[in-house]
Amino acid sequence: RKGTAVITGASSGLGLATAKALAETGKWHVIMACRDFLKASRAAKAAGMDKGSYTIVHLDLASLDSVRQFVKNARQLEMPIDVVVCNAAVYQPTAKEPSYTADGFEMSVGVNHLGHYLLARELLTDLQASDYPSKRLIIVGSITGNTNTLAGNVPPKANLGDLRGLAGGLNGVGSSVMIDGGEFDGAKAYKDSKVCNMLTMQEFHRRYHEETGVTFASLYPGCIATTGLFREHIPLFRLLFPPFQKYITKGYVSEEEAGKRLAQVVSDPSLTKSGVYWSWNKNSASFENQLSEEASDADKAKKLWEISEKLVGLA
């Protein structure tokens, strides 16, 4: 039978390119988990995806109720869920003030980490129930959260500190809106959220890989300088960033190529190892990359897991 993959944020950029790459193989049905139904449907059509190769299901990661409703709706499709890709993200580098999810969490960490954390916890049950030979849960990471790289050392650097802001609810009322308890910084909040994504993947691996056989993975697909992720950046940045990445850092990767990379992590029979953070070299060959000290800190991962579990109402 065909495999079924849930991809969050499949309405643009990497998520859409991955959905298209998987659908084109004829071996996958994609559940596009998107907050804007019409946008997703237009995007799938414009990408030339075959009508029968995907189903769009509403998901707004900025609302825990919406995440729970998505899980119900996805189950009603009566399709097995074989792979889950947590890909959606918001990036607000120029925001002066924080914005908040429906549950009152700072938006970047609320959407990129907490929404996905609840989704992944819920869908783990479905992955376990699937009889697909290689079940996978993938959380898209990023180099920018990795302070062992050049890109990860561009200030403001990711730093979760002792997680006091997150423990306080990340709401700016009784606590800070930043995980480490500091002042709001949109670019840092994004990087912090990506560290959370990578820590969460490893904690899933430690807690559930042996018991469930599910492969847990993260990846850095390369710098896809053309996606909507940079839509909130200043115009000059948006103009110069793609050529800068292409010719100076040489980290540039097209949306199509990045989509193929993520599609490999979904389906390639050689990428079944769990607990890995995948990257690609200049020849587009995948390799197991090293995470920064903070992004591979097992104590921090455990603490993050326990606080997140409380914030999303699972504990």
Site residues, ligand NDP (CB under 6 A): 8-9, 11-15, 34-36, 39, 59-62, 87-90, 111, 140, 142, 194, 220-221, 223-225, 227-229
Peptide bond into 243 cis (omega under 30): no
190 is catalytic: yes
- State which residue has the least CB distance to ligand NDP: 13
* Two tokens, residue 272: 């079944």
Residue 111 or 301 having the CB closest to ligand NDP: 111
In the chain, what is the straight-line distance between the N-terminal and C-terminal CA atoms, in Å?
36
* Least distance to ligand NDP, CB of residue 262, Å: 8
Residue 111 or 137 having the CB closest to ligand NDP: 111
- 123 SS3 class: helix
* Least distance to ligand NDP, CB of residue 261, Å: 11
Dihedral-angle region of residue 199 (phi above 0 means left; psi in -120 to 50 means alpha; beta otherwise) = alpha
* Two tokens, residue 258: 């990045």
* Least distance to ligand NDP, CB of residue 89, Å: 3
* Least distance to ligand NDP, CB of residue 197, Å: 7
Which of 190, 208, 252, 277 is labelled catalytic? 190
Residue 34 or 301 having the CB closest to ligand NDP: 34
Residue 214 or 258 having the CB closest to ligand NDP: 258
Torsion angles phi and psi, residue 4, rounded to 5: -120, 125
CA distance linking residue 70 with residue 50, whole number of Å: 23
- Which of 166, 171, 116 has the alpha carbon at shortest distance from 141? 116
- 154 SS3 class: coil
Question: Which residues are part of the catalytic machinery?
Answer: 190
